[in-house]
A = this chain, B = another copy of it.
Amino acid sequence: MTAPILHSYFRSSTSFRLRIALNLKGVATCYRAHHLKLGEQSAAAYLNLNPQGLVPALELAGGTVLSQSLAIIEYLDETIPDPPLLPADPVTRAKARAIAQMIACDLHPINNLRVLNHLRSRFGADDEAVAAWFHHWVAQTFTPLESVLRDRERPSPYCFGSRPGLADICLVAQVANNARFAVDMAPFPEIQRIHDACMALPAFQAAAPANQPDAE
């Protein structure tokens, strides 16, 4: 059986999400690095696989290419049910997906490398302005996220229940991303606690940027 190919960049936080999910599901992959700062994701051969020119993508045996980290993680959860990455009951599933999307829709894309580069080239933003932008959007989402997590009906080391899932995956990858811009986590103790609980697990550790073949 041929292992699927994981198209990834060590520092990409969406790639980090997918690597965690693959580890939690026990899926072995062939790692294929695309260096975003060198623009390798825009090479013709990769655009042929993923016209969006973004990582991650998962190339299944047979050649089907899946893109978008959350869509791929849902695919993994549907085809490899154990361990589940979403709670069982529909309302809690919706709450878990909502946390994932607070980060994946309302925070991460606005602070993505290509947006920060565009701020520099279009508006002449310097390092300080870029950092202020990054911090602003983290606070816009992490402040309500902290409150949502604090108000959960049942305390848990993870976002929901007794094991990590989709919401935790997005949370952990975003906290790692924040560290690159020295975001002060003191106002977000519950987020930090969940991050630390997850990072104590081998599936999360092995997925971390520093532990990838292309880490610098």
With a CB–CB cut-off of 8 A, which chain B residues contact A75?
Answer: 90-91, 93-94, 97
Is A53 interfacial (CB-CB < 8 Å)?
yes
Known contacts A101-B71, A122-B129; is A52 also within 8 Å of B93 by CB? Answer: no
Q: Do B105 and A70 touch (CB < 8 A)?
A: yes
The answer, yes or no, to whether A202 is at the interface (CB within 8 Å) is: no
Inter-chain contact A90/B79, CB cutoff 8 Å = yes
A144 within 8 A of B: yes
Number of residues from A at the complex interface, CB < 8 A: 49
Residue of B72, B97, B132, B133 near A68 (CB, 8 A) is B97
B144 & A52 in contact (Cβ 8 Å cutoff): yes
For the complex, give the distance between the alpha carbons of A90 and B147 in Å. Answer: 34
Q: Which residue of B lies closest to A51 (CB)?
A: B144
Residue of B whose beta carbon sits closest to that of A148? B51
Complex contact A123–B118 (CB within 8 A): no
Interface of A: prevailing SS? helix
Number of identical protomers? 2
Interface centre among A98, A122, A123, A136 (most CB of B within 10 A): A98
Task: Determine the residue in chain B with the shortest Cβ distance to A144.
Answer: B51
Highest count of chain B CB atoms <10 Å: which of A52, A54, A60, A118: A52
Which A residues are within 8 Å of any B CB, using their own CB? 51-54, 60, 64, 66-68, 70-72, 74-75, 78-79, 90-91, 93-95, 97-98, 100-102, 104-106, 108-110, 114-115, 118-119, 122-123, 125, 129, 132-133, 136, 140-141, 143-144, 147-148
**New contact pairs (18) apart from A71-B98, A72-B94, A75-B97, CB-CB < 8 Å:** A51-B144, A52-B102, A52-B144, A54-B106, A64-B91, A71-B95, A71-B100, A71-B101, A75-B90, A75-B93, A78-B90, A79-B90, A101-B104, A104-B105, A105-B105, A105-B108, A106-B109, A122-B132
